């Protein structure tokens, strides 16, 4: 076996023998987000501290385990799979995993395989991603100002990211830019970002900062309600609500003046829990039924308990049976601690 090569177990045919996953509130779970690593080559100020201690490699699922885990969820009704991190493209051998998971696109069991990236490695991997069946990616870019980009990401190079975005576009990948709206940091650049994205043919999604993990600053100094942002944009642009969905939590509008789409992810001002179809698995195999809750189920031990998936499937079913109705995010001066102690890079962006 070559280094990093995926050796897959024999799988059941078709779309799997299992009933779809339905949570206690009648929502079908059809979307899985999997963090393949907690490591990242950036240190974004709203995401993690600059001096991070990452997980020991022995605690992180192997590529083979990640493949098996994703396949189990696909057999149980997942139709959209997103790989996240950290930065997923810094994981050694990651393209072997992506190429292997592409077989579920070929069989029709999986409708979409995609990933969220900071763009730093896209110049290297864009063409291969397309060849593996990926057609759409999210790229996180919070500012088009190179100096400010460096300040926000601490370690990032905007020029390298832009080269990656161009390479992805040339490879045929559809791009959505994710921009975290930060008060007094990039709030006055949102119009510039909107015009650039739509001029390049990219969708733009704005995201409220979330109280996840200890950082080096105070999130009350970062938090910018997107209700305020939308009201400001409406003074310049004609925003029309549309039913467009990508499977995630964003609510979309069309911007009549540009002809492009703009999404809003608002976990603080207007949560999206009533239609939640998502669960997340960390790179250590912990299944979180809600991004904003601490309740989780360990899937690593069931994965490693036997070569068969009976124990794993039972653990997944038990966890889905306690998926909560919604999250409890709050950011205010009286809540100095994050609502959830784990960093976004652990759970997966």
Give the residue numbers of the binding site for GTP: 33, 82, 116, 176, 278-280
E strand intervals along the chain: 31-35, 80-84, 112-117, 136-140, 174-181, 203-208, 239-242, 251-255, 260-265, 278-281, 286-288, 296-298
Spatial separation of the C-alpha atoms in residues 261 and 7, rounded to whole Å: 40
Sheet holding 112-117, edge to edge: 239-242, 251-255, 260-265, 203-208, 174-181, 136-140, 112-117, 80-84, 31-35, 278-281, 286-288, 296-298
Residue 181 backbone class (left: φ over 0; alpha: ψ -120 to 50; beta: rest) = beta
Q: Which of 106, 160, 163, 162 is nearest to 131 (CA)?
A: 106
Quote the distance between the C-alpha of residue 142 and its chain's center.
Answer: 15
Give the residue numbers of the binding site: 33, 40, 44, 46-47, 82, 86, 116, 140, 176, 210, 273, 276, 278-280, 290
Local structure of 259: helix, strand or coil: coil
Contact 164, 121 (CB under 8 A): yes
Spatial separation of the C-alpha atoms in residues 47 and 154, rounded to whole Å: 11
Q: Which of 212, 217, 152 is nearest to 344 (CA)?
A: 212
Element (H, E) at 194: helix 190-200
Q: Which of 298, 295, 293 is nearest to 316 (CA)?
A: 298
Contact 197, 203 (CB under 8 A): yes
Local structure of 261: helix, strand or coil: strand
Give the residue numbers of the binding site for [4Fe-4S] cluster: 40, 44, 47, 273, 276, 290
Give the residue numbers of the binding site for S-adenosyl-L-methionine: 46, 86, 140, 210
Spatial separation of the C-alpha atoms in residues 247 and 71, rounded to whole Å: 19
């Amino acid at each position: 076996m070559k280094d990093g090569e995926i050796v897959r177990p024999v799988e059941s045919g078709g779309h799997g023998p299992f009933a779809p996953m339905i949570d206690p509130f009648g929502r079908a779970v059809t979307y899985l987000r999997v963090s393949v690593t907690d490591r990242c080559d950036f240190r974004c100020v709203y995401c993690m501290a600059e001096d991070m201690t990452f997980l020991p490699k022995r605690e992180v699922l192997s590529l083979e385990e990640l493949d098996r885990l994703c396949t189990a969820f696909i057999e149980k009704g997942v139709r959209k799979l997103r790989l996240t991190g950290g930065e997923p493209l810094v994981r050694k051998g990651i393209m072997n995993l992506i190429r292997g998971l592409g077989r579920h696109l070929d069989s029709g069991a999986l409708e979409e395989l995609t990933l969220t990236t900071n763009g730093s490695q896209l110049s290297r991997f864009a063409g291969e991603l397309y060849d593996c069946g990926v057609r759409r990616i999210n790229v996180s870019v919070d500012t088009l100002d190179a100096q400010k980009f460096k300040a926000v990401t601490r370690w990032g190079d905007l020029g390298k990211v832009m080269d990656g975005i161009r390479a992805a576009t040339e490879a045929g990948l559809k791009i959505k830019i994710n921009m975290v709206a930060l008060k007094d940091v990039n709030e006055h650049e949102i119009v510039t970002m909107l015009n650039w994205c739509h001029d390049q043919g990219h969708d733009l999604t704005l995201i409220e900062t979330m109280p996840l993990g200890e950082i080096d600053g105070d999130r009350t100094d970062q938090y910018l309600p997107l209700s305020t942002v939308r009201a400001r944009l409406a003074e310049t642009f004609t925003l029309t609500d549309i039913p467009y969905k990508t499977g995630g939590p964003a609510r979309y509008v069309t911007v009549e003046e540009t002809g492009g789409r703009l999404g809003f992810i608002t976990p603080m001002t207007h949560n999206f829990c009533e239609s939640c179809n998502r669960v997340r698995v960390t790179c250590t195999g912990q299944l979180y039924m809600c991004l904003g809750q601490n309740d989780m189920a360990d899937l690593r031990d069931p994965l490693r308990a036997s070569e068969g998936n009976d124990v794993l499937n039972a653990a997944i079913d038990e966890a889905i049976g306690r998926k909560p109705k919604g999250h409890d995010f709050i950011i205010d001066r009286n809540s100095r601690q994050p609502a959830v102690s784990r960093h976004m890079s652990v759970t997966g962006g």
